[in-house]
Amino acid sequence: MNPRVKVEDTPEAWEVVESRSRFEGRVIEVVTDTVRMPRDEIADRDYAVHPGSVAVLALDEQDRVLLIRQYRHPTRHLLWELPAGIRDVAGEALVTGAARELAEEAGYRAGTWYTLVDLFSSPGMSDERIRVFLARDLTKIPDEENGFVHEHEEIDMPVEWVPLPDAVEKVLMGMIHNSPSVAGILAAYAASVEGFALLRPADAPEA
C-alpha cells in the first residue's frame, strides 16, 4: 500500500451546473445533476435522493443475532433482515430512531448501544446513508406495552435468533442479501474478535 495515499473516504462536492427533478415519490426523489468533471467536460448523473436509514444488529447474551423476514417488492423476495427504518423524524438522533425500529419491528429494548458500521447503500445511484447500530443488553417489551400496529409488509413478520457464526455463514453462502444486514453481520463478527472494543459510541458523527 502506498504510504502517501490515505485510504479513507473523504467528503468532496464537484460543481453542479444544473439540477433537474425527474420524479418525486413518498420516500425518494429522482434527479439529474449536470456535473462539471474536474479533468473532463460536464456529464449528467441520475440518482435517487433518499432521507437515509438506520438498522439494528441486536445481539443477545448468547451472541445470537435478531433477524426478521420481510417482503421486498422491488426484488420479489422475502428477505431476512435486521430491524431497520427510514430517518423520517426531523432532528431525531439516529440511535433514537434505531431504538424505535427495534421496539416496533421486533418488540425489544436495548440497554447498550454502539455504532457498528456506516455505509452508502448504492452510491452510484442513490445518496442513501445507512447507520447500523450494535444493540446489547436486550429485554423483551411486553405485548401490552408495545402499541405499534403492523401493516402492509410488516404484518406477520417472523423473528428469529441466529447464532452470529451461523449468520456469517448464511451471508457467505448467499442466503442473506439485504445490504445493511450483510454489512452488520460481518462487521459484528469482525468486531467481536476484539471484544467490540474498537466500536464507536452510538452518537459518533457521520462522515
CA pair distance 173, 181, nearest whole angstrom: 14
- Catalytic, 101? Answer no
CB-CB neighbours of 100 under 10 Å: 17
Contact 29, 49 (CB under 8 A): yes
- The DSSP code for 89 is S
CA pair distance 84, 53, nearest whole angstrom: 7
CA dihedral 158, 179, 20, 13 (to 10 degrees): 140
- Please list, residue by residue across 136-166, b when 16 or more beta carbons sit within 10 angstroms of its beta carbon and e when fewer do: bebeeeeeeeeeeeeeeeeeebeeeebebee
Q: Is 137 helix (H, G, I), strand (E, B) or coil?
A: strand
- Determine which one of 154, 160, 169, 194 is catalytic: 154
Nearest CA among 52, 63, 67 for reference residue 121: 52
Contact 169, 189 (CB under 8 A): no
Catalytic center residues = 154
